[in-house]
């Protein structure tokens, strides 16, 4: 890994164009050339645009826009519910194609990922063209590819030409291609960060690149220096195939059809969310020891409150109990529009087992209830079930807000 980082690297960022919509068009060619939006339930307020075709975008339809507004801007808009099984299948095939070129593939989400082709040989542009054509010919899906010496520049490059574009961004070109871009278009700069940067007269990526580190740290802390480095084309992070195994939290959230103060409705939603989180934890063979509750009120004000636990938990009953406690403690009785539950400090069961050698167990058993939990899990599921959990016994769950992360489970298998 270190050798690849120290050498001049060739990094690809693959970004599928309007992925969900493109998959539907590939499945039904009659949709091609028409304004198409993939969204949730049109009858409920949570019906928002997940993605849309370029034809719809040209009419002003945007991601996360409410459906009523999208239809107002584009009356002829075709709305389809998401077909997650279809998207998962397409994603698996795409990443197989990437892995045919190099073992150094790092998925980021269901529709994008990085490749390090430094050791693959051949002409990078030719490789990119062949990959792009293969995805289009075999799956009928368009993608954009950014080529650069590091992940950040490759990500920025892939956004420069859509759809079906290939863009090279070299370090010597960042002053002419990257720096003129507005600061909010920089990868890693969200709305709040952009506002803070604009507050100190940073309006472009070039302004950020030239700003002194002290001023940036005063506003953004250590992240200010990290962003400045990236603006100057510095990013040493490797393309790490093992990053797909890393997760520290598992959560689920849902917007209510109407703002409510009905405790029964809120408790019912907590039960539903806890069940969804439990299912995802079983799929990942994981346990966690912290629960976070997110509450979004009628005025969109959002708070998050969490509780650290002494034991690892995994069941919906344990998750519900903590979530109910957090709701009772932190709800100001104003109408609620969204609830979210996240289990944090997550660990894989088998990794916890591996950490418990005989000496450690005997030394710490009197101090930590963790080991009692491990014993109970071992007794309940058997000695080796932590690494051979039968995923077929887990109820199939239609992914919601966690779908972008859940697809990684497929990539790992």
Within 10 angstroms of residue 49's Cβ, the number of other Cβ atoms is 23
Please state the rounded mean pLDDT for residues 49-62. 94
Which residue pairs from 31-38 have beta carbons closer than 8 angstroms and sit at least 24 positions apart in sequence? 31/78, 34/76, 34/78, 35/59, 35/61, 35/74, 35/76, 35/77, 35/78, 36/77, 36/78, 36/79, 36/80, 37/61, 37/67, 37/70, 37/77, 37/78, 37/79, 37/80, 38/79, 38/80, 38/81, 38/82
Q: Regarding beta strands 336-344 and 249-260, do their DSSP bridges make them parallel or antiparallel, or are they unpaired?
A: antiparallel
pLDDT at 393 over 50: no
What confidence score (pLDDT) does residue 5 get?
Answer: 45
Please tell me the least confidently modeled range out of 44-48, 80-84, 302-306: 44-48
Q: Is residue 111 part of an annotated ligand binding site? A: yes
pLDDT-derived band at 34 (thresholds 50, 70, 90) equals very high
CA–chain centroid gap for 253, Å, is: 14
Residues facing residue 146 across a β-bridge: 13, 167
pLDDT for position 356 = 45
Enumerate long-range contacts of 229-234, CB under 8 Å, 24 or more apart. 230/152, 230/186, 230/187, 230/188, 231/178, 231/179, 231/186, 231/205, 231/206, 232/174, 233/149, 233/150, 233/152, 233/153, 233/171, 233/174, 233/178, 234/150
Domain map of the chain by residue range?
A: 2-15+85-170, 19-83, 175-231, 247-412
Among residues 385, 290, 391, the alpha carbon closest in space to that of 346 is found at 290
> Hey, which CATH number is domain 247-412, 3.30.1490.100, 3.40.190.10, 3.60.15.10, 3.40.50.300?
3.30.1490.100
Per-residue pLDDT, 246: 67
Report yes or no: 3 and 103 within 8 Å, Cβ to Cβ: no
11, 156 contact by CB (below 8 A): no
Least confident of 156-160, 295-299, 384-388: 384-388
Q: Any idea which architecture 2-15+85-170 has in CATH?
A: 2-Layer Sandwich (3.30)
Of the candidate CATH numbers 3.30.300.160, 1.10.490.10, 3.20.20.140, 1.10.150.20, the domain formed by 175-231 belongs to: 1.10.150.20
Position 3 scores a pLDDT of: 47
- Is residue 311 very low, low, confident or very high in pLDDT (cuts 50, 70, 90)? confident
The three-class DSSP label of residue 109 is: strand
- What is the tens place of the pLDDT at every residue in 239-271? 998 776 666 788 999 888 889 999 999 999 999
For the stretch 63-107, pLDDT in tens is 888 888 999 999 999 999 889 889 999 999 999 999 999 999 999
Average pLDDT along the chain: 84
pLDDT digits (tens, 9 = 90+) for 346-385: 887 766 554 444 444 444 444 445 545 555 555 444 444 3
Predicted pLDDT at 354: 45
Beta-carbon contacts of residue 256 (< 8 Å; ≥ 6 apart)? 45, 46, 265, 269, 336, 337, 338, 339
Q: What is the pLDDT of residue 360?
A: 45
Q: What is the DSSP letter of 347?
A: E
pLDDT confidence of residue 84: 87
Q: From the candidates 55, 112, 278, 314, which is the catalytic residue?
A: 112
- State the fold for domain 19-83: MutS, DNA mismatch repair protein, domain I (3.40.1170)
Residue 44 is a catalytic residue: no
pTM check: above 0.85: no
78 - beta bridge partners? 36
């Amino acid at each position: 890994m270190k050798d690849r980082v120290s050498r001049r690297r060739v990094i690809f960022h693959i970004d599928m164009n309007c992925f969900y919509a493109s998959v539907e068009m590939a499945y039904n060619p009659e949709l091609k050339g028409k304004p198409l939006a993939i969204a949730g339930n049109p009858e409920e307020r949570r019906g928002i645009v997940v993605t849309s075709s370029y034809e719809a975008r040209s009419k002003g339809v945007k991601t996360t826009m409410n459906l009523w507004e999208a239809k107002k801007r584009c009356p002829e808009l075709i709305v389809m519910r998401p077909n997650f099984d279809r998207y998962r299948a397409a994603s698996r095939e795409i990443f197989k194609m990437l892995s045919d070129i190099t073992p150094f593939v790092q998925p980021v989400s269901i529709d994008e990922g990085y490749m390090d082709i430094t050791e693959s040989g051949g002409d990078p542009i030719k490789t990119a063209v062949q990959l792009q054509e293969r995805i289009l010919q075999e799956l009928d899906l368009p993608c954009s590819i950014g080529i650069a010496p590091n992940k950040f520049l490759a990500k920025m490059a892939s956004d420069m030409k859509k759809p079906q574009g290939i863009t090279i961004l070299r370090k010597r070109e960042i002053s002419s291609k990257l720096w003129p871009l507005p600061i909010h278009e920089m990868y890693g700069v969200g709305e709040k960060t952009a506002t803070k940067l604009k507050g100190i007269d940073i309006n472009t990526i070039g302004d950020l690149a030239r700003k002194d580190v002290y001023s940036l740290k005063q506003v953004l802390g250590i992240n200010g220096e990290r962003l400045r480095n990236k603006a100057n084309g510095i990013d040493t992070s490797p393309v790490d195939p093992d990053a797909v195994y890393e997760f520290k939290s598992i959560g689920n959230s849902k917007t209510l059809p109407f703002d409510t103060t009905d405790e029964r409705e809120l408790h019912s939603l907590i039960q539903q969310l806890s069940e969804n989180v439990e299912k995802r934890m079983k799929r990942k063979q994981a346990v966690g020891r912290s629960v976070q509750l997110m509450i979004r009120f009628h005025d969109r004000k959002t708070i998050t409150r969490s509780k650290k636990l002494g034991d690892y938990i995994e069941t919906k009953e344990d998750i519900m109990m903590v979530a109910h406690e957090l709701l009772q403690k932190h709800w100001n009785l104003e109408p609620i529009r969204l609830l979210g539950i996240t289990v944090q400090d997550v660990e894989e069961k088998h990794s916890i087992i591996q950490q418990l050698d005989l000496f450690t167990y005997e030394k710490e058993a009197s101090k930590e209830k963790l080991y009692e939990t491990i014993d109970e899990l071992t007794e309940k599921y058997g000695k080796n079930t932590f690494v051979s959990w039968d995923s077929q016994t887990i109820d199939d769950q239609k992914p919601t807000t966690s779908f972008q992360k859940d697809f990684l489970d497929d990539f790992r298998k």
